Amino acid sequence: MANQVVMPKLSPTMEEGQLSRWLKKEGDTVSMGEPIAEIDTDKATMEMQALGNGVLRKILIQEGESAPLGQVIAIIGEADEDINTLLQSAPAAAKKETKAEPESSTQADQDQPDAAATLEKDTVAKDAAAPKDERAAQSEATKPSGRLVVSPIAARMAAESGLNLSNLSGSGPGGRIIKRDIETALKEGAKTQPSAQAAPSRKASGKTSGAPAQTPDISGASPYRDVPMSEMRRTIARRLVTSIGPVPHFFLTTEVEMDRAADLRKGLNEIYPEQKISVNDIIIKAVAWALMENPDVNASFQDKVVRYYERADIGVAVATDNGLITPVIRAAETKSISEINSEIRELAGRARARKLTPEEYTGATFSVSNLGMYGVDEFTAVINPPEGAILAIGAMAPKPVVRDNEIRIAETLRVTMSCDHRVIDGAVGAQFLQSFKKVMENPLYLVVA
Amino acid sequence: MPVITMRDALNQALREELQRDEKVFLMGEEVAAYQGAYKVTRGLLEEFGDKRVIDTPITELGFAGLGVGAAMVGLRPIVEFMTFNFSILATDQIINSAAKMLYMSGGQFKIPMVFRGPGGSAFQVSSQHSQALESWFAYFPGLKVVMPSTPADAKGLLKSSIRDDDPVVFIEQERMYGMKGEVSDDPELLIPLGKADIKREGTDATIVARSLMVPLALKAAEELDADGISCEVIDPRTIRPLDIDTIVESVKKTNRAVIAEESHPFCGVGAEISAEITEQAFDYLDAPVKRVSGADVPMPYAKNLENLAIPGVAQIVAAVREVAYL
């Protein structure tokens, strides 16, 4: 009995997935539980497992294509059974991402004439992804006299570099636009109308970004390249719009004297040199401590109620190639600094390799973002909804401070807290900052906590 | 390396294969006592005797069929047609027997034979004696078709054809028998069937040429090079099975293809190559594939008309300029 394989819900916030890589080919035998594909969700790449035994009879979605949850993406069945009824009931192939290099796009064009045909109908692109069949797109931009006559290689080159063919005149017979016309146009840095359909590959983007450097004539809009968004980037975009817009943010800044914290770090690293404790680990611990002291900050706006969390689950912002992700240190108030250090290291490593599970990057009660290593003195961070606040850490810098009526040099750190005013008032936030500052300037509080 | 004529290269190939395998034998009109109508088989009767080098009556259908029968019982005949124009009479045996025997016998009878001889134009031999029939034979599954363009290719390809267990139609060119080239005397130097040869590398246009057209294509490439147009010249060497991959790789590089052949255009080998290029390299083409073929008329007798009927360097150059829009 053949089965349809549908796009599974692999994370709580997942609404659609992108097929990153098929691990099996059509015709391969699969067994229950065996991974058959890697799927890009909004945050990480996850393996999808076969839910039964059989042969992977038909792949309906190609690498790089996206599909919403529940859409049929493959058929598994016996090697010889008729799967036509199942195929017909599967909705048409989804929109594609033009990530492919030019060479592979030719092969894909031959393999999926049907997909290209449905693509022409489905050009309602939610994202910036371009239709794979550029010739179909370009035929809409015709000259006033009628058809656009272009050689195949010229059409492809134009599509890849985002050139609008209707701006070009062809030097071939009958006005045919030929390869040379595209090469000339690119050399002169021809202006393109910001075509929402242009999505050059990595190879072509090298050309367009190279063109401005060569051309002596710089006028009009800058040449550009459009890069299709990864799932992660789209999710960040979607979620943050639901943050800074609707969430009434306010910001509190304070400057912390870090000398004792720096000494603590030095001391810990003398005892455990392999551990390599950083200031950030101490900060996380201090934040957890301060949250326990100020439980009103460990809060979340839940429409009808304010939710107050019992544990300090701290989301630590990690920058990856694909975007920002915040793996969570659960119950940080119960963990030692070295435990926090190890956990952050492990989670960050897996975050960069896109191997975090959803439980590991969702459900924080408070987040910390540190741009100190990039030399940022201070900044305001955007709250990760539905959390109530986020703490932005700047760079440590030696500054003159007044102590006991004398000027001393102290290592200082500026931190800025962003609060959701629906659940945290100014005084509440300020008290949290005071606690945080107190424990950072006197880390011994951590011992008696 | 010794420099010898195409004729002598073919002669060496025949001699070496007759020496190597006593099941190989040669038959055709005038191949033995007369030393061959074009002297390709010179000296072979003397060396191998009349059981291995056999003069036949003027009965192409008959001795072609005889060859098939000999092949079916385990011999390896080389059947010479004085020109391939005369093979037309023998096509029933070539096509209905030789090409199909392996298939129809369920693999019980293989036909390891070679039909060889000159094809295409000669010097004023007129309509019935100037025909290029390679697309006829290449049409049939079960046959291999080989066309050398240099003495070295001729020797290596003929040896491979004789050692091949399938019926091979080996088409030489009378106008090229006197052509000289370097040929190794290594009796084990074979050129594999089904492999094209890039006779000249280039970047701006691909010229696919076979047999007589190869030297002309190379001359055209030189002429175009002086104008800054760099041509890649590909000689398929084997027409069936065709090494389309080499051709397609080249077109992907140059974006333009010109096919040069002396045969008629309609349903010629050029038409097949053009179709395959379009199917496999469509997205890389900057211009339609252009064929330069022989005139679509029976070959004239008059010398001036004959020259007009066969493509020359000028026509190939013009075709390349057309696809390069120069």
CB B263 within 8 A of CB B269: yes
Distance, C-alpha A4 to centroid of its chain: 29
For B286, the closest of A106, A109, A178 (CB atoms) is A178
Q: What is the DSSP string of A318-375?
A: EEETTEEE--EETTGGGS-HHHHHHHHHHHHHHHHTT---HHHHS--SEEEEE-GGGT
CATH code of the domain covering residue A309: 3.30.559.10
CA distance B305 to A433: 101
CA distance B249 to B234: 11
In this complex, do A156 and B283 lie within 8 Å of one another by their Cβ atoms?
yes
Choose, from B16, B29, B80, B129, the residue flagged as catalytic.
B129
Best mutation target, B252, B283, B285, B322, to test chain A (most A CBs within 10 A): B283
- Provide the token pair at A254: 């304070």
CA distance B102 to A188: 62
In this complex, do B287 and A152 lie within 8 Å of one another by their Cβ atoms?
no
Tell me if chain A has a CB within 8 Å of the CB of B283. Answer: yes
Which chain A residue shows the shortest CA-CA distance from B326? A172
Which chain B residue shows the shortest CA-CA distance from A171? B325
Phi, then psi, of B107 in degrees rounded to 5: 90, 5
Crossing angle, helix A259-271 and helix A279-293, to 10 degrees?
Answer: 120
Assess if residue A222 is contained within a domain.
no
Q: How close does chain A come to B256, measured CA to CA in Å?
A: 10
Residues in chain A predicted with pLDDT less than 50, given as ranges, are 92-144, 192-215
Beta strands in B99-228 (DSSP E): 114-118, 144-146, 168-172, 180-182, 197-200, 205-209
Assess if residue A267 is contained within a domain.
yes
Assess if residue A223 is contained within a domain.
no
In this complex, do A172 and B325 lie within 8 Å of one another by their Cβ atoms?
yes
Residue B22 confidence (pLDDT) = 97
Tell me if chain B has a CB within 8 Å of the CB of A87. Answer: no
Q: How close does chain A come to B249, measured CA to CA in Å?
A: 12
Assess if residue A47 is contained within a domain.
yes
In this complex, do B285 and A153 lie within 8 Å of one another by their Cβ atoms?
yes
In this complex, do B286 and A171 lie within 8 Å of one another by their Cβ atoms?
no
CA distance A107 to A110: 5
Give residue B223's pLDDT band: very low, low, confident or very high (50, 70, 90).
Answer: very high
Is B60 part of the annotated catalytic residue set?
Answer: yes
- A339 burial level (CB within 10 Å; 0-12, 13-18, 19+): middle
CA distance B309 to B127: 11
Closest alpha carbon to B294 in B305, B274, B309: B309
Q: Spell out which residues of chain A touch residue B255, defining contact as CB-CB under 8 Å.
A: 153, 179
CB B119 within 8 A of CB B131: yes
Which chain A residue shows the shortest CA-CA distance from B287? A151
Q: How close does chain A come to B127, measured CA to CA in Å?
A: 37
Q: Spell out which residues of chain A touch residue B284, defining contact as CB-CB under 8 Å.
A: 106, 152-153
CA distance A237 to A247: 15
In this complex, do A153 and B283 lie within 8 Å of one another by their Cβ atoms?
yes
Tally the domains of chain A.
2
Instruction: For residue B40, give the 3-state DSSP assignment.
Output: coil
- Provide the token pair at A217: 């004539």
CA distance B289 to B277: 8
Crossing angle, helix A279-293 and helix A426-441, to 10 degrees?
Answer: 130
Torsion angle of the four alpha carbons B115, B118, B121, B125, in this order, in degrees rounded to the nearest 10 = -110
Assess if residue A205 is contained within a domain.
no
- Provide the token pair at B222: 């030189």
Tell me if chain B has a CB within 8 Å of the CB of A152. Answer: yes
CA distance A50 to A44: 19
Identify residue A235 by its one-letter amino acid code: T
Closest alpha carbon to B216 in B250, B265, B261: B261
Residue A138 confidence (pLDDT) = 42
Assess if residue A138 is contained within a domain.
no
Q: What is the mean pLDDT of residues B219-223?
A: 98
In this complex, do A152 and B325 lie within 8 Å of one another by their Cβ atoms?
no
Per-residue model confidence as pLDDT tens digits over A72-95: 888 888 877 777 777 766 554 444
Q: What is the mean pLDDT of residues B152-158?
A: 98
In this complex, do A152 and B284 lie within 8 Å of one another by their Cβ atoms?
yes
- Provide the token pair at A103: 């060479």
Full domain range(s) for residue A8: 3-113
Q: How close does chain B come to A186, measured CA to CA in Å?
A: 17
Tell me if chain B has a CB within 8 Å of the CB of A180. Answer: yes
Q: Which of A73, A95, A113 marks a domain boundary?
A: A113
Residue A65 confidence (pLDDT) = 86
Q: Spell out which residues of chain A touch residue B287, defining contact as CB-CB under 8 Å.
A: 151, 172, 178
In this complex, do B283 and A152 lie within 8 Å of one another by their Cβ atoms?
yes
Best mutation target, A135, A179, A180, A183, to test chain B (most B CBs within 10 A): A179
Which chain A residue shows the shortest CA-CA distance from B281? A106
Per-residue model confidence as pLDDT tens digits over B129-148: 999 999 999 999 999 999 99
Q: Is the pLDDT higher at B270 or at A199?
A: B270
CATH code of the domain covering residue A28: 2.40.50.100
Best mutation target, A106, A107, A132, A134, to test chain B (most B CBs within 10 A): A106
Instruction: For residue B79, give the 3-state DSSP assignment.
Output: strand
Assess if residue A128 is contained within a domain.
no
Q: Spell out which residues of chain B touch residue A180, defining contact as CB-CB under 8 Å.
A: 325
How many of the other CB atoms lie within 10 Å of CB of B123?
9
Q: Which of A58, A87, A113 marks a domain boundary?
A: A113
Assess if residue A126 is contained within a domain.
no
First to last CA, chain B: 40
Per-residue model confidence as pLDDT tens digits over B72-122: 999 999 999 999 999 999 999 999 999 999 999 999 999 999 999 999 999
Q: Which of A113, A132, A165 marks a domain boundary?
A: A113
CA distance A44 to A11: 9
CB contacts < 8 Å between A and B, how many? 28
Per-residue model confidence as pLDDT tens digits over A148-189: 889 999 999 998 888 888 888 888 888 889 999 999 988 887
Per-residue model confidence as pLDDT tens digits over A223-266: 666 777 777 777 887 777 777 778 889 999 999 999 999 999 99
Q: What is the mean pLDDT of residues B27-49?
A: 97
Rg (CA), chain B: 19
- Provide the token pair at A187: 């050399």
